[in-house]
Structure 1
Amino acid sequence: MVVTPEQASAAREALLVCDAIGFDTESKPTFTRGETSTGPHLIQFATDKKAWLLQIGDSPEPHIRALLLAVLERPLPLKIGFGLADDVKRVHAKLDIRAAGVVDMSVVLRTPGQRNDLGAKTAVAKFFGLALQKSKKISVTNWALPRLSEKQILYAADDAQVALRVYRHWIGLGNTLPPLKPVKLPKPPKNGIS
């Protein structure tokens, strides 16, 4: 968990020297029709050996925001994850950060002509012959809590790191990424009117 300015600085140093990092977000689920999510509430980054989790309240601390800007708005390191379109849109809507260098493995691994994206569980089974344990019970917990449970922390760290591991394996098989396309973000309202 990144809390202090010193932890944010150490995370920034470790992440910015990487060619690629795992990336994901978690948001408190919405259960009422018409309710709008206030997420993301947690942003996760992972290297091959370590994960960093950043809690995002209504407004992140300055050192957390600086870390997010430094990592997300640069084209490198590549930000690797599964199903990232919504994550990137939420980060932009809440934090006004435009993520660059985003690699959505769900799209990259899609078989041409296939409509369904390949998720993390399916990718882990396909490439490693293992069953990725992703608890639905944990995924729908309150990610906006001021103190996350040990199970939430492990779930979030795994989510970021598994994407990076699948990417490394896929690249190791001789694959190359297609040219990256930026995620389409909503256009700002004209004259500041929504």
Structure 2
Amino acid sequence: MPKLKAPSKEDSALLPHFAELPVQAIHIPQAPAEFDAAYAALTAARFLGFDTESKPLFNAGQHDSGPHLVQLATTQQAWLLQLHHPRALELTREILGAAHICKIGFGLDNDRQSLPRRLGTELVNVEDLDRRFKQLGYGPSIGVRAAVALVLRQNFRKSKRTSTSNWASPQLTTAQCRYAANDAHAPAVIQTALQHWEEHQLQRLSPSRSPRPGQR
């Protein structure tokens, strides 16, 4: 199968903007009641968008203590779990180890290695959507931006400045919260549309069939 070309950043920029989560739908639990609410919502989900953030390392030999933030999202809400908080660590461990919840994201190879070490448990029922797109003929790491352009026909913008900010900070900025939440929200939204889009792609790429004799 010939390799398909994913939309470029320039192609994506021509599309309507991705519908980001409003600030009031982004939760950073701190108090016991907030963690209880997060637990109830997350454990009730059939699937969750999933991503992580780590404080960047700028010098060789620096100790990598990340990931520092785990993002989990439905199509309507997102939760940012700061792993310096014991309750956040406990909740993350439970959700990522839950077999009944599929955790969906992009480029998860590093998380599969670093998170078990950070959490002290293995990840269960985690799906890397990069592999789904590879099976359809795209490159090995299509990423969330190109996937949003393909499936949702929207432009998913990412700030490099925010991506390299201090994710270990106890107080995240509004820009960090939006960035982190939507990195998990986008895979959740893609998941709802992916099966229909895949079926359409397979029909479009399959050779057209000639009518049988006597058929019109």
TM-score (norm 1): 0.82
| Unmatched segments (≥5 aa) in structure 2 | 1-27, 200-216
Q: Contact 1:18 / 1:47 at 8 angstroms: preserved in 2?
A: yes
- 1:130 is matched by which residue type in structure 2? Q
CA RMSD of aligned residues (A): 1.7
Alignment-derived partner of residue 175 in structure 2: 151
Count of residue pairs brought into register by the alignment = 172
Percent identity reads 34
> Whose RCO is larger (CA < 8 A, sep 6+)?
2
- Relative to structure 1, is the Cα distance of residues 174 and 110 closer, same or farther in structure 2, using a 3 angstrom cutoff? closer
Alignment-derived partner of residue 15 in structure 1: 42
In 1, Cα distance between equivalents of 2:130 and 2:121: 22
Alignment partner of 1:90: what SS?
helix
Alignment-derived partner of residue 38 in structure 1: 65
Pick from 52, 59, 72: which aligns with 1:25?
Answer: 52
| Unmatched segments (≥5 aa) in structure 1 | 176-194
- 1:2 is matched by which residue type in structure 2? P
In 2, Cα distance between equivalents of 1:165 and 1:174: 15
Greater Rg by CA: 2
Alignment-derived partner of residue 120 in structure 1: 144
- Between 1:165-174 and 1:41-50, the stretch displaced more is 165-174
Q: Contact 2:93 / 2:119 at 8 angstroms: preserved in 1?
A: no
- Give 4+ residue runs of structure 1 displaced > 6 Å after superposition: none
Q: Contact 2:151 / 2:197 at 8 angstroms: preserved in 1?
A: no
What's the offset of the Cα at 1:123?
0.4
Per-residue CA deviation, residues 127-164 of structure 1 (Å, 9 max, x unaligned), is: 12221111111000010111010000000000000011
Q: Contact 1:82 / 1:104 at 8 angstroms: preserved in 2?
A: yes
- Between 1:102-111 and 1:131-140, the stretch displaced more is 102-111
